[in-house]
Structure formats: C-alpha cells, structure tokens
Amino acid sequence: MVLGVALAWQIDTLIGLEGALVSRTTVLLCIGALFVVWPLRAHHPFDRVGVANQITMMRGVLVLLLLSFVGMGQTLQMQVAALSIAMISSALDAADGWAARRTRMSSRYGARFDMETDALLILTLSLLAWQFDKAGLWVLASGLMRYAFILAARLLPWMQRPLPPSQRRKVVAVLQVVSLVIAIAPFVSPGVSAPLSACALALLAWSFLIDVAWLRRHASDSMAVS
C-alpha cells in the first residue's frame, strides 16, 4: 500500500496533478486491502501469505494505481505513465503462478486472487483505451464480460457449477491484456488499436461462450440423470 501511494506521489509530481492521483490511489488501495485481507483467514490454507500472494498483491497495487488514471484526461504524460504501469503489472503476471508452484503454496485463494486481479486489469485497460480515444465505447465489453458472467451465475443456478481448468482461458486472458496494453500506447494510432481491441474482444467472447455452453450442457445432463 505504501508502495502504491509513493508511486502515485511521484507520478502526481511529474505530471502536475496537484495531489489528485495520490488521493484517488489511497482510497482505492484502502478498499482493495479490505477485499484482500477479509477472506484471507477463512480461505487461505497456509500460516503465511507466501511469495506468490505477495507478488499478486504488488500487481494489485499497480492495477489500482492504474485505475486511478481513469477520468483524469489523456495527456501524453498520462498515457506514458499508464503504459509503463500496465507493462510492469502484466510482466509480473507470470511470476506469481511460478512462485506458488516453486514454494508449493498453491491454493484456491491464490488462484482466485490472481484471476480477479487479471479481471480488474482488463477492465481498467479497456476504460483507458476508451479514455485515450484508442477504441469506441464497445471496448468496455472486454472488461465487463467477466463481471457479467459472475452476475449471470448469481441469477442462473446452472451457471454456478465450477468450470474445469482450461489452458484456453489462460491464453485468451494473456492475449486480451497484451492487446489492450498495446492499444493504450501513445505511439499506437486508433487505426491499429481499435481493430486490435476488436479482435481481442471477439476472442474473449468466444472463450466465454464455450464456457457457458459447457455449463448449459452439463446442467442438462444433470437434469436428465435426476
């Protein structure tokens, strides 16, 4: 948390935002800390947080710092800072899974923590792609699709069944993040960023449709057996 505020202060000073980024980041980090710490005792099976979760926490701090940029304009300095943070956060994505396997501290809590951090990063990047005029309002569908899926699962019991592990989901998520990071780069024109974001969105929608079809098919199988 201290790291996030310190980074926000440095960027705030360089860009000249008069403390706006620091205050936004501080509020978001406090909210984020509640969501991370509150379920830790109940769902984390180990007696310590572990290196993998610490890396994910670092990624989460960077994502929340990046989220603070939303609604603060589209100057060149803002875009360069956003791109730098997004690249560092994305680069750390592979490290937490590796650390969990290396230290033999893999857990459902850690996997969920990592997944929700990825989802928030994709939502933030899609918001910035729209804010920086790199794609139309439709790009927000990339970030909202995960949350729409969660809402649908709340409303439809047949969507609450756990999905099997899938390498496809991991690859699509990585491609989605990479595409949106490229899209927000100040040297990438809307003529490139918009089609790139559209292709990534289509790929994400295809992946979600496969999962929904699997859930529906197995719900029908369960009803037939009963």
Three-state SS annotation for 6-61: HHHHHHHHHHCCCCHHHHHHHHHHHHHHHHHHCCHHHHCCCCCCCHHHHHHHHHHH
pTM of the model: 0.90
DSSP 138: G
What contacts 174, CB < 8 A, 6 or more positions away? Answer: 93
pLDDT digits (tens, 9 = 90+) for 145-159: 999 999 999 999 899
Domains in the chain, start-ordered, CATH in brackets?
2-225 (1.20.120)
Contacts with 75 (C-beta within 8 Å, 6 or more apart), sequence order = 15
Distance CA 200, CA 48 (A): 37
pLDDT tens digit string along 11-57? 878 777 777 888 888 999 988 888 877 766 666 666 666 777 788 88
Max avg pLDDT among 52-56, 90-94, 124-128, 164-168: 124-128
Question: CA 107, CA 128: separation in Å to the nearest integer?
Answer: 32
